[in-house]
């Protein structure tokens, strides 16, 4: 079927007749009769499509007010929220700091080890590093003491 082109006046008359019929609550069949009286020569489906195209073409512009947030405002607010949540999580999280002290069996480790305990260090391991035999026959062992303390990731 060949496509029919209507003049601007005829098209406006067809659309107005159809719109009046539909606003009056009439069914599409009666709106088609009104459109045909105004010069329309198609069927109900094509009349419906014609009305849809006209509604889209003549749709009002969306209302933009100053209260509508801009993208930069939303992005800024989102960034602040993310930074706040990450900082809060990092403050609650903890990490461990380690320290190793190597002493020999000839030294008295009590004072040094106790001072580390007062500073918050906790002994987590002792490792014998080496044993040396002295000329007088004495045996000296080097022992490494491994300490750990909890620290916050964010100061």
Q: How far apart are CA 13 and CA 146, in angstroms?
A: 93
Q: How far apart are CA 117 and CA 38, in angstroms?
A: 99
The mean pLDDT value for 76-84 works out to 82
Give the tens place of pLDDT for each residue, 122-153: 998 888 888 878 788 888 888 888 889 887 65
Rg from Cα positions in the chain: 43
Residue by residue, DSSP assigns 18-33 as HHHHHHTT--HHHHHH
Give the tens place of pLDDT for each residue, 98-128: 888 888 877 777 888 888 889 889 998 888 8
**Average pLDDT of the residues of the chain:** 83
- Contact partners, residue 40, CB within 8 Å, separation at least 6: 6, 14, 18, 32, 47
Give the tens place of pLDDT for each residue, 4-39: 888 989 999 999 999 999 999 999 999 999 999 999
Q: What is the pLDDT of residue 3?
A: 77
């Amino acid at each position: 079927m060949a496509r029919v082109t209507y003049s601007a006046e005829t098209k406006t008359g067809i659309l107005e007749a159809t719109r009046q019929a539909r606003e009056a609550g009439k069914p599409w069949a009666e709106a088609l009769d009104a459109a045909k009286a105004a010069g329309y020569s198609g069927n109900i489906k094509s009349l419906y499509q014609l009305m849809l195209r006209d509604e889209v073409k003549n749709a009002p512009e969306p209302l933009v007010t100053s209260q509508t947030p801009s993208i930069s405002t939303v992005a800024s607010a989102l960034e602040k929220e993310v930074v706040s949540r990450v900082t809060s999580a990092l403050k609650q999280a903890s990490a461990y700091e380690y320290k190793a002290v190597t002493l020999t069996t000839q030294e008295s480790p009590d004072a040094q080890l106790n001072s580390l305990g007062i500073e918050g260090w906790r002994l987590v391991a002792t490792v014998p590093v080496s044993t040396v035999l002295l000329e007088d026959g004495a045996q000296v062992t080097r022992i490494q003491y491994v300490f750990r303390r909890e620290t916050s990731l964010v100061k």
